[in-house]
């Protein structure tokens, strides 16, 4: 029985939220007797799993103030998720903060260590909790997932974690990212997209490396007049 913290997937379609949905979708497609539970907690929002997960993943929607729960979980590792889920074999948090459990193996995913190298560029729960508490969470986790060899090396360097406890699991590609015909003239006009463009998708914030992208684009466009850069995604900190 695997319980995964589904909360990052509830609102904005951020990278971690996409990761959670894709991970659950992939796990649910593997023929096995394993059970998967998607955990959520809120007083205002109701957990509704997307159609492709409904029936294959069990929703666990706890009526509990999320800010209070995060404070208890991140600082006191209490209450255990089994209080609501029943017995669990694996408790997986897709963020660096633990999903507290009494008997289950606790697994965390650390996607990158930018927040440790540049805490001034992050805000909200990441700055309040991740920056001061991630080392303790990493030390207590039974295993750590990360998505690249580079981040694995950073985790070892910055958090003094035994490399044997870190497992690199590169991210897969969603089925919709496949070769396709470019949008027609009407579609481009409706979106305001030029005929020739490079596409960036993501939150516009310092850690996305947009300064490097703009420098590279300046060199490319000098040789490819008429090429434009299209940014898709919300504005972030200091954008």
Rounded Cα gap, residues 195 and 185, in angstroms: 8
As given in the structure block, the two tokens for residue 22 are 């894709």
Q: For 122-146, how does the pLDDT look when each residue is reduced to its tens digit (9 = 90+)?
A: 888 999 999 999 999 999 999 999 9
The helix/strand count (H/E) of the chain reads as: 9, 9
Rounded Cα gap, residues 51 and 31, in angstroms: 19
Q: For 67-97, how does the pLDDT look when each residue is reduced to its tens digit (9 = 90+)?
A: 999 999 999 999 999 999 999 999 999 999 9
Rounded Cα gap, residues 65 and 177, in angstroms: 37
C-alpha to C-alpha distances, 114 to 76, 109, 158, 172, nearest whole angstrom: 25, 14, 11, 22
pTM of the model: 0.87
H/E element holding 114? helix 114-117
């Amino acid at each position: 029985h695997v319980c995964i913290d589904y909360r990052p997937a509830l609102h904005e379609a951020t990278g971690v939220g996409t990761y959670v949905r894709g991970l659950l979708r992939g796990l649910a497609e593997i023929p096995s007797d394993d059970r998967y539970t998607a955990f959520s907690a809120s007083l205002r929002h109701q957990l509704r799993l997307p159609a492709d997960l409904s029936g294959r993943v069990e929703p666990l929607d706890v009526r509990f103030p999320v800010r209070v729960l995060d404070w208890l979980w991140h600082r006191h590792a209490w209450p255990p998720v089994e209080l609501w889920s029943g017995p669990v074999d694996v408790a997986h948090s897709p963020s660096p903060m633990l999903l507290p459990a009494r008997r289950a193996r606790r697994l965390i995913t650390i996607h990158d260590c930018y927040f440790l190298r540049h805490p001034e560029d992050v805000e909200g729960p990441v700055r309040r909790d991740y920056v001061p508490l991630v080392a303790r969470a990493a030390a207590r986790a039974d295993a750590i997932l990360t998505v690249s060899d580079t981040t694995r090396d950073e985790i070892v360097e910055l958090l003094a974690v035994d490399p044997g406890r870190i497992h690199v699991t590169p991210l897969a590609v969603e089925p919709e990212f496949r070769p396709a015909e470019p949008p027609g003239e009407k579609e481009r006009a409706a979106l305001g997209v030029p005929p020739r463009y490079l596409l960036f998708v993501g939150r516009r914030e310092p850690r996305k490396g947009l300064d490097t992208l703009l420098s590279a684009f300046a060199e490319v466009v000098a040789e490819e007049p008429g090429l434009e850069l299209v940014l898709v995604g919300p504005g972030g900190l200091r954008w």
